[in-house]
Amino acid sequence: MKKIALIILILPLLVFGQKPSPKSTPKVLSEKEQKLQIQKMQAISLIEKTAEEAVFWEDKKTAVEVMAEAADLLWEENQTISTKWLVKAWKITDEVSDLPKNEKMAQFFSYSDKTGLRTIILRVAQKYDAALAENFLKQLAEKDSDEKKAKGAFDDKTARSEQLLRLAQQAVENNPNLAFTLAERSLADGISYNLQNVLTDLRKKDANLANRLFDLALARFKNSPPDTSEAQILAGYLFKSGFTFGTNSGGETILVVNPNQQNLPAVAQSEPIRTRNFLSAVYQSFFTRPILPDTDENKKKAADILVLGNSVAGYYERFASELAQPTRVFLAQLQILLYPNRQNQTSESGDGLDSLPKNATKEEIYDALISYLEEKADKESDAIAKKIAYIKAAVSTKAEDYKRGVKIAEKIDDENLREDAVSFLLYRAALYFVQKKEIETAEELAPQINETLRRAVVKIGIAQFLLQPKIDKKAVQAETDFDRQRAFGLLSDAERDLKKEDSSANLVKIFFGKTSVLAKFDKTQALVSLEETIQKINKIENFNLKDASAPALGLDVSSASSATVFAPRVGFGFQDAIEPLIETDFEQAASIVERLAAKEMRGVGRIEIAKLFFQKNNKLLSQK
């Protein structure tokens, strides 16, 4: 009934909204095309309604995200209204916190929600209206003096350069020239950390552009007051892509790694002249001026120079050999001045591996490490430290070596902690075997997992595997049918278990995962499951519909444990659940999302549905 009412409401829009075309004869639309046109109007209506409401939401962060996304989706449909949303969203960012998102990481980056939102808006503006993006950047330059008081070691120089480099990073893949121009403009504010990422990615697309950008950056470095952080950025690009060294406020060496840019060939090898120019500039700027670490400020400066020196010293011999000796002497003297007591220190790893022969195999090293951790736990006298030490040892075992892990965990003298640890080790092992396609072992382990949510994730993971199209085309239909039955059985089991559980973010994610797997073979059941999921969401205070990460089912007392789990390749997000339903059940899915109680969440849900609809029917938007 709801579906019919919706169509009746939208039909007049469709009829009266179309401009008359005087000459061409009206094209007769097929039933399918008519349905798509109606759905298109509905999707547009969802976006417009949500963007207009978002202005009044209390959650400003979500409001800005939604408005920027709405503008991106409807720009070609209605440029005026999209510009209006984007300008409004830009204004609202002033009301969003600029405190670092992650306090623990603040010494590295003070990246805030405000920064992230500005990037989102600028990306959309840059895509459709460069003048509008320019206007936003101009406003940022004016605001710079008031913002970003406390900086992280790897923060970009200014809010403006940060945004320019983020835009450049986004443009590299499809428009290297634009990326170059944006990054070049960022140099007006100095050499920022993100320039290294842009340089590395730009080089992959166009080495000449990267060289030109590097030369400009080096010229900037030479003509500005010496700054070790700037030298570290260029050194990272030349010698070790993906790595940048720095120091924190206490003078300790800190390092940031970009995993996407690791293990690339060193640029220095193919650019010896540029490398020599760089090393000479560094020498002139830092290694010819004695510095006495007599005050805290000078100590920090000296520590910065020493860290930089130690990271580049090894390259002088090859690229600027006449400077190698004086650089070594300078750094040795600085080391003694800064750390007079570090001359005779010896190191001992303390991980029980010192007694191993040099040619020990990986297995021998693993075995020795686990034995060492277990013995250390055995010897611990503090009651709680002992329990934590056993957990550390058990979690350190390999996922497939779960029997050893369980044996260690069984020594924990605390029933709750022991059961939790054992359940985690079995869960981790089962997911490992799913990933390795050893389904029978995973199925054996699943019922042994005491904890409901973990057991449900394993069952959903197995069900998903069983429903994958068979690579072996000879697989008989009967076998496929049998696997479908097994999958359905596993999902029903999981559902029965989950019904007893209190609502939580993890439970919602698992429900989304279940819905997404169900949608592959039973859309009706998937819609029922989606509806149940919405009910679960309405029972919790907050849930991020855009969070597609796997549920966090690691050990409460070991934050590192989650990272050791092979998460199943089931999508656990809202999009994953909705996506298989969009083409067949768009109206029903949209109608279910309307039952989300929180207006912000409902808005995000509508935008996600509309976005998926247009992704599936991308040609529709260009048709007026």
Other C-beta atoms lying within 10 Å of the C-beta of residue 435: 16
- 426 neighbors 445 (Cβ within 8 angstroms): yes
Task: Kindly state whether residue 416 participates in binding another protein, applying the rule CB under 8 A.
Answer: yes
State the minimum distance, in angstroms, from the CB of residue 384 to another protein: 5
383 binds another protein (CB under 8 A): yes
Q: Judged by CB under 8 A, does residue 455 bind another protein?
A: no
| Residue among 414, 531, 532, 587 that touches another protein (CB under 8 A) | 414
From 211-219, 293-301, 308-316, 376-384, span contacting another protein (CB under 8 A): 376-384
Structure tokens given for 76: 């070609």
Please give the DSSP secondary-structure letter assigned to residue 501: S
Q: What's the CA gap between 240 and 264, in Å, rounded?
A: 8
Single out the residue of 337, 360, 388, 620 in contact with another protein (rule: CB under 8 A). Answer: 388
CB of 296 to another protein, least distance (A): 13
Kindly identify the residues of this chain, within the stretch 420-439, that bind another protein according to CB under 8 A.
420
Using only the alpha carbons of the chain, give its radius of gyration.
Answer: 29
We find the least distance from the C-beta atom of residue 451 to another protein, in angstroms, to be 8
| In the complex, minimum distance from the CB of residue 366 to another protein, in angstroms, rounded to a whole number | 23
What is the three-state SS of 17-45?
HCCCCCCCCCCCCCHHHHHHHHHHHHHHH
Which residue, 416 or 622, has its beta carbon nearer to another protein?
416
DSSP SS3 for 298 = helix
Identity of the residue, 61 or 418, whose beta carbon is nearer to another protein in the bound complex: 418
Choices 51-59, 308-316, 379-387, 615-623; region in contact with another protein by CB under 8 A: 379-387
Look at the chain and count its residues. 624
* Shortest distance in whole angstroms from residue 613 CB to another protein: 35
Stretch that binds another protein, among 411-419, 441-449, 520-528, 576-584 (CB under 8 A): 411-419
Q: Is the four-CA dihedral 85, 160, 157, 203 of positive or negative sign?
A: positive
Report, in Å, the least distance between residue 521 CB and another protein: 33
- Residues numbered 510 to 569 that lie near another protein (CB under 8 A) are 555-557
Distance between CA atoms of residues 467 and 484, nearest Å? 6
Under rule CB under 8 A, residue 338 binds another protein: no
Interaction between residue 385 and another protein (CB under 8 A): yes
DSSP state letter for 254: E
| By CB under 8 A, residue 53 contacts another protein | no
CA 261 to chain centre: 15
Closer residue to another protein (CB): 77 or 451 = 451
Which of these segments, 14-22, 217-225, 227-235, 415-423, binds another protein (CB under 8 A)? 415-423
Exposed e or buried b for every residue in 396-420, given b needs 16+ CB within 10 A? bbebebbebbbebbebbeeeebbeb
The footprint of another protein on this chain (CB under 8 A) covers a number of residues equal to 13
A 10 A CB-CB count for 333 gives: 11
| Cα torsion 32, 33, 39, 42: sign | negative
Going by the DSSP 8-state scheme, the letter that residue 551 receives in this structure is P
Q: Kindly list the residues in this chain that would bind another protein in the complex (CB under 8 A).
A: 382-385, 387-388, 414, 416-417, 420, 555-557
